[in-house]
């Protein structure tokens, strides 16, 4: 398991987790650790550290700084945003604002969709074509 870095050292924890198998019913149980979420390989301390960084730095910089994969950091950030803001409720939305912006000096684009009255970002997706924004209208993941 990965823990928060200590100065310039990466910290990996080798923690044995006890597992029990029931021979009668076939059920399995694993020991729960209060500093580790079920199925995760990073500690709460590392997640909190990454949460603090993604609020002030781009994800790519946090990935370079921590040595974690970009997708792992994005998953941590998405979990924080969902806990902080909850899921978007589309009821009452009457007007949308859409805009595109350049990524990487104009070679790639992203599209943002916002609630016109509240100026709340509802969705951001890579690309500026009809296909790129279709997931928003089909009800896929909102920010």
52-79 pLDDT, tens per residue? 999 999 999 999 999 999 999 999 998 8
Backbone angles phi, psi at 112, to 5 degrees: -120, 140
3-state secondary structure of 89: coil
pTM over 0.75: no
d(CA 71, CA 77): 10
pLDDT for res 3:
93
Predicted confidence (pLDDT) at residue 114 exceeds the cutoff of 60: yes
């Amino acid at each position: 398991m990965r823990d928060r870095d200590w100065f310039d050292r990466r910290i990996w924890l080798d923690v044995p987790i006890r597992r029990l198998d029931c021979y009668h019913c076939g059920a399995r149980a694993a020991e729960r650790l209060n500093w580790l979420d079920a199925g995760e390989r990073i500690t709460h301390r590392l997640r909190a550290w990454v949460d603090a960084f993604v609020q002030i730095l781009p994800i790519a910089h946090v990935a370079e700084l921590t040595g974690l994969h970009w997708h792992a950091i994005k998953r941590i950030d998405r979990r924080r945003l969902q806990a902080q803001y909850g899921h978007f409720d589309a009821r009452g939305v009457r007007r949308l604002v859409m805009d595109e912006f350049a990524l990487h000096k104009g070679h790639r684009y992203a599209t943002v969709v916002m609630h016109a009255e509240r100026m709340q970002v509802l969705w951001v997706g890579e690309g500026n074509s009809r296909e790129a924004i279709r997931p928003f209208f089909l009800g896929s993941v909102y920010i």
